Amino acid sequence: MRFIPHSPADIEHMLAAVGVDSLDELFRDIPAALRATGSIDLPPGLSEQAVRGHLEALAARNPGAAMLSFLGAGAYPHFVPAIVDNILQRAEFYSAYTPYQPEVSQGTLQAIFEFQTLTAMLFGLEVGNASMYDGASATAEAVLMALRLHPKRPRVVLARTLPPEYRDTVRTYLDGAGDSELLEAPCDADGRVDAAWLAANVDARTAAVVVGYPNVFGIVEDLVAVHTAAAAHGALLVTATAEPLALALLRPPGECGAAIAVGEGQSFGVPLSYGGPGVGLFATRLQHVRSMPGRLVGEAHDEAGRRGYVLTLATREQHIRRERATSNICTNHGLIALATTVYLSLLGKHGLRRLAHLNLARAHRAAARLTAGGRWRLAFAGPFFNEFAVRGTDARGALARAQAAGVLAGVPLGRWYPEFDDVLLIAVTELHDDAAVARLVEVLAA
């Protein structure tokens, strides 16, 4: 086996050093009855060439990956500059582990420090953590954190416009977490969370109000209004962003009053990979940092006064505090956090904004062209970024016909929202030039 270096002579030498006669004897402390159950019924191993061939054959059975696609709904196709993956393929990064020994892990630690800074700036908040698993689980952790910050308030309001998989994940995490209670705020005709409902239902028992930003329909919520409704009763505003590119243009959640802002970082230089790994973004105000889940990197100095970085504020964490930790999270998504750090460094202050503008403009042009014919109309009147919902009769039939013509034209909202069975959700990014949009309009005309 090519990964295992031990020759027969090595094995013999090592067995002798250990003082056992055979490899089997190494396992003599395991009761024989248990050992009898051990053998693995899998085919013999394969060469690298054979494994590659097998995986290529499987990959070839995913024709959806090569089709013109306007699928979004929480995972967005974007162009990835070559540098990002080149850095990810540096084995010094990918084959390291959590930087427990900072003196030989400064690469990872400094990159995470930069990641934390970028996350905080993006959300307009003071501090970002070293990452979470993904947007959905980060949202769940944000809700748990809000409940910790408001221990006497059992209620959490989730906007129905929050991505459904985020809501489902919150529900799973909260089951068993004390006597918490989840309420769902309906959406209005503009596709935003219903402000009147919030005014009537947020109360002194409410710990937090959670909205998507942009929300699942691609609509930009009026965060200031939501914050006003929440703050009137002392509830925290929590935002969840599945398409963080929008934050290059939109007022950041922190500036609109959010106490915690989370998101999914996949858009920033990470391939779709059928939905994972992505990376959870998590930011909050400095005053709440000790209630924050996840790892944190901080600046430190050695005796010679040289600056370096270390894992810090670990007393919140499971390996110190065990059952009283702020979260059970241990490993986060460090390598993907690195990808987003490289990506955001490359695009930077101006490139990210220009890219966001390109997405915005192309999505609006696509929406205008698609709705010009009368076959489709915008499902919601609210402002949108690079994803929009259109309504038309037999939406699912149209989608199937587009698929037969080789285009993945969108996600049927009826998948999650029975009341919107005639609505398609369409994502348009910098990957979709005029020809691609023309093709979309063409296949959806039928």
Partner 1 sequence: MSGLRDKQAGLLLDEPLIFDRSAPGRCGIDLADEPGAPADYLPAALLREPIEGFPEVSEPEVLRHFLRLSQWNFGTATTFYPLGSCTMKYNPLANEVVARLPGFAALHPLTPDELAQGALELCWELEAMLGEICGMDAVSLQPAAGAHGELTGMKMVRSYHRDRGDTRTTVLIPASAHGTNPASAALAGYQVQTIESNAVGLVEAETVRRVMTDQVAALMITNPNTLGLFEREIAQIAAAVHGQGGLVYFDGANLNALLGVAKPGKVGADVLHINLHKTFSTPHGGGGPGAGPIGVRAPLAPYLPGPRLARAADGLLRWSAVPERSIGRVRGFHGNVGMLVRAYAFITALGGDGLTLATRMAVLAANYIRVALTGPYDLAQPALCMHECVFTDKTLEAHGVKTLDVAKRLLDYGFYAPTIYFPLVVPGALMIEPTETESRETLDSFIAAMLAIAREAAQEPATLQNAPTLTPVGRLDEARAARRPVLRWSPAQGE
Site for partner 1 in 277-296 (CB under 8 A): 277-279, 289, 295-296
> 309 near 300, Cβ under 8 Å?
yes
- Least separation in angstroms between CB 186 and partner 1: 21
Q: Judged by CB under 8 A, does residue 156 bind partner 1? A: no
The HSE-up count of residue 208 (CA atoms within 13 Å, CB side) is 27
Give the residue, chosen from 186, 287, 299, 442, that forms a contact with partner 1 under the rule CB under 8 A. 299
Angstrom distance (rounded) from CA 422 to CA 419: 8
Residue 145 burial (10 A CB sphere; 0-12, 13-18, 19+): buried
Give the residue, chosen from 87, 198, 407, 444, that forms a contact with partner 1 under the rule CB under 8 A. 87
Binding to partner 1 in span 331-390, by CB under 8 A: 331-336, 338, 341-342, 344-358, 360-362, 364, 383, 385
Q: Give the chain's length.
A: 446
Q: Closer CB to partner 1, residue 10 or residue 442?
A: 10
Q: Judged by CB under 8 A, does residue 424 bind partner 1? A: no
Choose among 413, 382, 355: nearest CA to 223.
Answer: 382
Give the residue, chosen from 135, 212, 244, 265, that forms a contact with partner 1 under the rule CB under 8 A. 135
Binding to partner 1 in span 12-41, by CB under 8 A: 13-15, 17-20, 23, 26-31, 33-35, 37-41
In which region does residue 273 sit, left (phi positive, over 0), alpha (psi from -120 to 50) or beta (all else)? left
Q: Closer CB to partner 1, residue 177 or residue 199?
A: 177
- Least separation in angstroms between CB 261 and partner 1: 13
Q: Judged by CB under 8 A, does residue 330 bind partner 1? A: yes
Torsion angle in degrees (nearest 10) through CA of 10, 16, 18, 19: 160
Q: Closer CB to partner 1, residue 27 or residue 186?
A: 27
Q: Closer CB to partner 1, residue 20 or residue 183?
A: 20
Binding to partner 1 in span 207-236, by CB under 8 A: 220, 222
Span from 9-17, 148-156, 188-196, 373-381 in contact with partner 1 (CB under 8 A): 9-17
Q: What is the DSSP string of 155-172?
A: EEEEETTS-HHHHHHHHH
- Least separation in angstroms between CB 136 and partner 1: 4
Residue 245: strand, helix, or coil? helix
Angle at 397 between CA 393 and CA 398, to 5 degrees: 75
Give the residue, chosen from 273, 372, 396, 397, that forms a contact with partner 1 under the rule CB under 8 A. 273
Pairing of strands 377-378, 387-391: antiparallel
